[in-house]
Amino acid sequence: MITRKRENWLRMLFIWRGSVLSKILPRLLLLALFSVFIYQYHGVLFHYKIALNPAAFTLVGVALAIFLGFCNSAAYDRYWEGRKLWGALLTDSRSLVRQVLAYVTSADSQAGHTNLFVQLAIANAYALKHQLRNTNPAGDLNRLLPTSLSATLLQRQFIPVLILKEMAVWLKIQEQQGRLDAITKMGIDQNLDKLSSVVGGCERIKNTPIPFPYHVLLHRTVYIYCFMLPFGLVDSIGWMTPVMVTFIGYTFMALDAIVEEISEPFGNEPNDLALNAMSLTIEHSLLEMAGLPVPPNVWLPGPIID
């Protein structure tokens, strides 16, 4: 995800990184060339004059804009819910570690007894990130967890859930050994339940995309509309046809591309959620809370480009 301040109006016209223009540029160039061809031959295709009324494009354009707005709202809802879930992951992880550091017997805490729990909480965030992005979590798990535990987890599919189980087992052991009373353990366990809800919510977004017929209908309608538009404008605006068609095509095609991009918020595209940065933030803050050294690559000096 790209995080940057808003530039002045002139520089905004030429910003490339973070814009979907790079994805749709070949299609726009094809549309522009097609419009030039239609203008050159005055709307005649295969020796047949295709005369379309511009009023029809106005009606279709309004309906298409409304439908694009609906799909854009649905896609942004998924994006924003994903961001709220990762915000909850940060908050609940901090609360969980704070409770463990405060209520587990202080002597053991000073001896580093709680370090494993802190590392499990950090590993949970990284494991969730890798599960959502279908990437290999081995590097992060081997770095954060004991070798035997990491090797066991890497043989499983739903690693974040199993890490939460390990955290629950750790709490049970503390209770059995008298370091934690039952009532406090129940309160701490509530934050484990919240982390489990975060994992389930992220899986729901990832595994339940916007219904495919919506994407197909939107995609087909946008491109049919854009490639028919030159026939409706060539007789009324003449040489300006390629310019206006390309501009209108950019608006509709860009919205179509944005809907496709942000509807899957956990990917690696420029406008997806900054899961790398948020995982680093969780690691940084939990290590500081536990009084553990923070590796140099975990420091977050300012705005993050994921």
pLDDT of residue 301: 47
Residue 76, CA distances (Å) to 70, 73, 208, 285, 289 in order: 10, 5, 15, 28, 34
Distance, CA of 83 to CA of 249 (rounded, Å): 30
Per residue in 227-284, pLDDT (tens digit) is 888 888 888 888 888 999 999 999 888 888 888 888 889 988 878 898 999 999 999 9
In angstroms, what CA-CA distances link 200 with 137, 193, 204?
Answer: 19, 11, 6
Give the lowest-confidence range in 100-104, 120-124, 210-214, 246-250: 210-214
- Dist. CA 16–CA 30, nearest whole Å: 20
Using DSSP, state whether 45 is helix, strand or coil.
Answer: strand
Q: How far is 90 from 52, CA to CA, in rounded Å?
A: 56
Check residue 112 and give its pLDDT.
Answer: 61
Three-state DSSP class for residue 109: helix
Task: Write down the pLDDT at residue 261.
Answer: 85
DSSP string across 228-254: HHHHHHHHHHGGGHHHHHHHHHHHHHH
Between CA 51 and CA 272 the distance in angstroms is 43
Residue pair 226/245 in contact by the 8 Å Cβ criterion: yes
Rounded CA-CA distance 225/54 in Å is 12
Angle at 172 between CA 166 and CA 175, to 5 degrees: 145
SS3 annotation, 118-163: HHHHHHHHHHHHHHHHCCCCHHHHHHHCCHHHHHHHCCCCCHHHHH
pTM: 0.84
Cβ-proximal residues to 304 (8 Å cutoff; 6+ apart), any chain = 1, 3, 274, 276, 277, 280
pLDDT tier at 67, thresholds 50, 70, 90? confident
CA atoms within 13 A on the CB side of 153: 30
State pLDDT tens for residues 193-204.
999 999 999 999
Per-residue confidence band for 52, with pLDDT thresholds at 50, 70 and 90: confident
Alpha-carbon span 259 to 59, nearest angstrom: 22
Task: Please identify which residue in the block is written with the tokens 């709490």.
Answer: 171
